């Protein structure tokens, strides 16, 4: 099992989830827990979608979990994870070996979405937790090389900017 999380400008690829198998599905009143054979748990809401081989949003084959019976959804989901991609916009795309995709929309959603490693929180729609169990490797989008410099701090939310000014320094 690879232990790194690859960070791109717009997404994380959580490599420790690769080759994990979804071995159990627990249906709750507002969420579905996907239990993996490696100790991970993926939590999704009932608005999570399944699609066969396409992630296009308007695809006629893309439906919410409730489109299928729980038995049929479990049969679809009980497969090996090939590509676990979690977007910084809050969505996710998990490709399964059987050709199905589990998709979480990145639009503002109130449904649960999380990834747990053993009992610690790893990812939510808000981003990665501040965990240290898995190293995060930032990759340059142009070269594909590892970025070793520190990140620029985010823009402060309280900057006093005068948008009506003609002065370039305002």
Q: What is the pLDDT of residues 61-113, one digit of tens each?
A: 788 889 989 999 999 999 999 999 999 999 999 999 999 999 998 866 778 89
Terminal CA-to-CA distance of the chain, rounded, Å?
A: 51
Cβ neighbours of residue 101 under 8 Å, at least 6 residues apart?
50, 51, 52, 53, 54, 55, 93, 94, 95
pLDDT, position 149: 72
Predicted model pTM: 0.81
Tokens at residue 66, please?
């409730």
* 32 DSSP β-pair partners: 27, 44
Question: 71 burial class (0-12, 13-18, 19+ CB within 10 angstroms)?
Answer: exposed
pLDDT tens-place string over residues 27-52: 999 999 999 999 999 999 999 999 99
Q: Report how far residue 98's alpha carbon sits from residue 125's, in angstroms, rounded to the nearest whole number.
A: 26
């Amino acid at each position: 099992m690879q232990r790194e999380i690859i960070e791109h400008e717009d997404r994380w690829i959580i490599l420790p989830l690769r080759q994990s198998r979804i071995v159990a599905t627990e249906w709750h009143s507002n969420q579905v827990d996907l239990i993996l054979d490696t100790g991970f748990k993926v939590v999704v809401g009932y608005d999570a979608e399944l699609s066969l081989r396409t992630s296009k949003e308007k695809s006629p084959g893309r439906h919410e979990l409730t489109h299928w019976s729980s038995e049929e959804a479990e049969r679809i989901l009980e497969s090996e994870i090939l590509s676990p991609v979690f977007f910084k916009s809050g969505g996710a795309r998990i490709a399964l070996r059987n050709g199905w995709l589990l998709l979480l929309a990145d639009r503002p959603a109130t449904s649960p979405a999380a990834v747990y490693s053993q009992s610690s929180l790893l990812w939510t729609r808000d981003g990665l937790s501040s965990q240290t169990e898995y190293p995060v490797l930032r990759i340059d989008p142009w070269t594909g090389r590892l970025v070793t410099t520190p990140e620029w701090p985010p823009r402060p939310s309280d900057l006093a900017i005068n948008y009506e000014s003609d002065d370039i320094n305002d």
